[in-house]
Structure 1
Amino acid sequence: MKPYLLGDIGGTNARFALCEQGAIGPIERSHTADLPTFLDAVDAYLAPRGGRSGIAGAAIAVAGPVANGRCSLTNSNWTVDQEALRQALHLRDVVVVNDFAAIARSLPRLGKADLVAIGGGKAVPGEPALVFGPGTGLGVACLFAGPEGDIVIPSEGGHATLASTNERQDAIIRHLRSRYGHVSAERVLSGSGLVALYDSIATIDRKIVAVRDAAGITSAALEGSCDVCRAALDIFCAILGNVSGSLALTFGARGGVYIAGGIVPRFPAHLPRTEFREQFEAKGRYRSYLQDIPTWVITHPEAAMVGLSSMIDKTML
């Protein structure tokens, strides 16, 4: 039996693997900027593995909204089209889903070793479970237990308008609004958003700082070598808590809140030392409601692939 192709396509990286009898093979990563189109990337991956004829089907997760099996990535010039992929590879079984919808489907398959708990009570079985997280962008999805199986609702909630909770955040959002107009949650809760926070704080506080990317800001913050970096990371975590609390209320996520993406899993030990959980719960009359909702950081490096493999098991075979 031929394997299935799995793909996790983000704004920066494309990951591919083969899945055979439920087992996910080695994952290969490439940069989306290195190849002009998604199909070029598929061919480059499949070439040493038997080419297009070597697979039985494909399940692809993409960082952006999917409509009728098609997605133009929010943070890349690639377009992923389910029907075009089916025709190019002469396949019957092809599915394209939002990347956080794929991560949501991984939740029932994740174990304790794949999660770090950050406060809260106990998840209520059968209640909605929220997954969201910052990376190149800010993804959001929710898993619901339905009578005929799990249902996933993908969302573009990362582009909802960002609200502040204190005067410091007011000043930062006001500064960002002067630069960008609309200030979404993703404008702050993403790799470029962390850089925007860092630059905004330096401008507001009239500090001269080195040019840094998100990884550099995070490293300097955790090392304690830059006060502005530490302030940016701590405010990032506070806003992360604020946004996740709002999303938990929106979806009624008493099944728990799971944080994924490429940024927060790099510092799960630091998150409890910030205002993350306080801001998560600080929703006035609904504080007690949120106090009972547990929050976790997903540390599994390829949760989207796990979710895609579960889709193959349930919908294709």
Structure 2
Amino acid sequence: MKLALVGDIGGTNARFALWRDERLESVRVLATADFTCPEQAIARYLADLGLAPGSVAAVCLACAGPVSGEHFRFTNNHWRLARTAFCRELQVDELLLINDFSAMALGMTRLREHERLQVCPGIAEPGSPAVVIGPGTGLGVGTLLALDDGRWQALPGEGGHVDLPIGSLREAALWQQLFSQLGHVRAEDVLSGSGLLQLYRAVCALDGHAPRLASPAEVSAAALAGEPVAVEVLEQFCAWLGRVAGNNVLTLGARGGVYIVGGVVPRFAAFFQASGFARSFSSKGCMSGYFEGVPVWLVTAEYPGLEGAGVALQQALASAL
């Protein structure tokens, strides 16, 4: 059998790897800005490995946004893709496009124990859905289901665009401040890299502080250094992530657990574990008891999206036999 290739494509970077014998090989990260289209980036990736077009029989790409039809436009970068032209140019027999958080959810099936940190104790309930949620460039949300035949199913969605929930008078005041700036306030408007800076500015405006920090990295660094305003902002970020994750657990009956993924939260893992996330996660009034025993993990794996793309491709090829 020829090689297979998997990709996890974001706004800034495209990660590619070969998929052989159910494992990743030759992972490379390329900047999307350096290429006009995914075909060009993949051709460069293959050339760097000494492989020509036609060396790869099947490709699975994990892409942000709803995936359907012949044409796909990437939501966070300038790339576009036409399935037929893609396969012709790269001499590929099979192309599978999946939602990036479907890939992320499937990637949870490949985690090793040292690639996750416990945030809330518990035991995943067999047969129940699991929630996969992650602040990054935006806020991704996916659902993972174990099927009776041993396969896995990931349910895509656009859960990052739900309304931002309010659980306290302070959050109501912050929501009003955000609303005055944004109009409709989505969870993603706070729970993302840029959202952290948006939240910092809202706190400063509400409390009359002059904003001194100019990037999400500066906000998180200042919080870890103990700067009071930044500490409050990062704590509120964690609390709001808890509320959104908890809402998903109730909606889906997700007693299979919650996986916190993405590039933002691992940067302040210890702060997150000690934050009010767990309290906000389970603070649901008469339904608070539902959360007893629901585990939450912070995922630290390096390439879960690529691993999930490999699982998706493997399952798709197996079902076609």
**TM-score bracket relative to the smaller structure:** over 0.9
Map 1:1-317 onto structure 2 (within 5 A). 1-49=1-49, 50-68=51-69, 70-148=71-149, 149-224=151-226, 226-316=227-317
| Cα distance change of structure 1 residues 108 and 197 upon mapping to structure 2, 3 Å threshold | same
CA distance in 2, matches of 1:247, 1:290: 12
- Report the AA paired with residue 156 of structure 1: E
8 Å contact from structure 1 (residues 2, 20) kept in 2: no
The normalised TM-score by structure 2 is 0.92
CA distance in 2, matches of 1:153, 1:98: 9
- Report the AA paired with residue 205 of structure 1: D
Structure 1: runs of 5 or more not aligned? none
CA distance in 2, matches of 1:210, 1:36: 37
8 Å contact from structure 2 (residues 255, 294) kept in 1: yes
- Report the AA paired with residue 314 of structure 2: D
CA distance in 2, matches of 1:84, 1:231: 50
CA distance in 1, matches of 2:286, 2:172: 22
1:81 Cα deviation after fit:
4.3
* Greater displacement, 201-210 / 295-304: 201-210
- Report the AA paired with residue 2 of structure 1: K
8 Å contact from structure 2 (residues 197, 219) kept in 1: yes
* Greater displacement, 204-213 / 127-136: 204-213
RMSD: 1.8
| Cα distance change of structure 1 residues 204 and 154 upon mapping to structure 2, 3 Å threshold | same
CA distance in 2, matches of 1:273, 1:56: 47
8 Å contact from structure 1 (residues 62, 71) kept in 2: no
CA distance in 2, matches of 1:146, 1:267: 34
- Report the AA paired with residue 234 of structure 1: E
* Greater displacement, 103-112 / 243-252: 103-112
- Report the AA paired with residue 160 of structure 1: V
1:309 Cα deviation after fit:
1.7
8 Å contact from structure 1 (residues 260, 299) kept in 2: yes
* Greater displacement, 227-236 / 239-248: 227-236
* Greater displacement, 307-316 / 81-90: 81-90
CA distance in 2, matches of 1:244, 1:95: 29
8 Å contact from structure 1 (residues 69, 95) kept in 2: no
Structure 2: runs of 5 or more not aligned? none
Q: Percent identity?
A: 39
1:69 Cα deviation after fit:
6.3
Q: How many corresponding residue pairs? A: 316
Query: Can you list the C-alpha shifts for 1:255-300, whole angstroms capped at 9, x where unaligned?
Result: 1010111111222221122110000001111111112211111110
CA distance in 2, matches of 1:174, 1:261: 28
Query: Can you list the C-alpha shifts for 1:193-235, whole angstroms capped at 9, x where unaligned?
Result: 01101111112122123242222221221122x3222221111
- Report the AA paired with residue 152 of structure 1: A
State the SS of the aligned residue for 1:25.
Answer: strand
